[in-house]
Structure 1
């Protein structure tokens, strides 16, 4: 499955031809939700995508990034704990419907786990955004699913095109 997703990612990155092309660089921060809400306190990441526009309405392309989940540590009475962070490199196909300054989109692919015992898993990120003064404000929900474990977060970020 990993090999298939990597091949699709590379294929979409090198075989596209259309009317407009765009690199997008983004950064985000978020709060873990669901099963990981108590294990991680927050997450942050960055991504680079190459998008191809068709008729000014639809964009598609490839995305690669870095996501880091910061694990909670704490103390309660005599009990204290120190957590282990989790890091991922998402590689995905990316698509958007552009409606003027507003867009709705989705990234789907594989997130490679970088920590020991973290194999990564299926990656998905629905997102919406609003462009203003050369920047795009992006809201998203990120999910990584592997072996019955879900690592999910709600994120806010910024991106710019070049």
Structure 2
């Protein structure tokens, strides 16, 4: 089971509303627990003979976007007409393809469903993130070079 499969499993469990899911295969045991706004994933891999198994626990802390959402309801009303472009993976957010190149998009640019808006680096792989919505970029929500969580809003798009 690779990292992408584990990430997809975590997404599925988070959306399903289940409080706990256990998956056991020949060489991997995964337990995902949700509740009180946090998701905890424990992955145990089969150890070589003679060495006891040690569970690795990775609690997922609430993202800055989640705490920002709870801060101000009046800003929600103003931005409710906008669509968010969110991060599909955990990684580092980059607005440019390389340091010496211009940014993919600026505030005020018009994007289509297949427009590349940024790159998220995860485990030394640079993943191009497409808009998936058509409209005009209203706001960039993340600073260049900062870490992002799965589902964290990156851009606000006005679809009109």
TM-score, structure 2 as length reference: 0.25
Higher-helix-fraction structure: 2
Q: Which has the higher strand share?
A: 1
Asked which structure has the greater RCO (Cα within 8 Å, sep 6+), the reply is 1
Q: Which has the larger radius of gyration?
A: 2
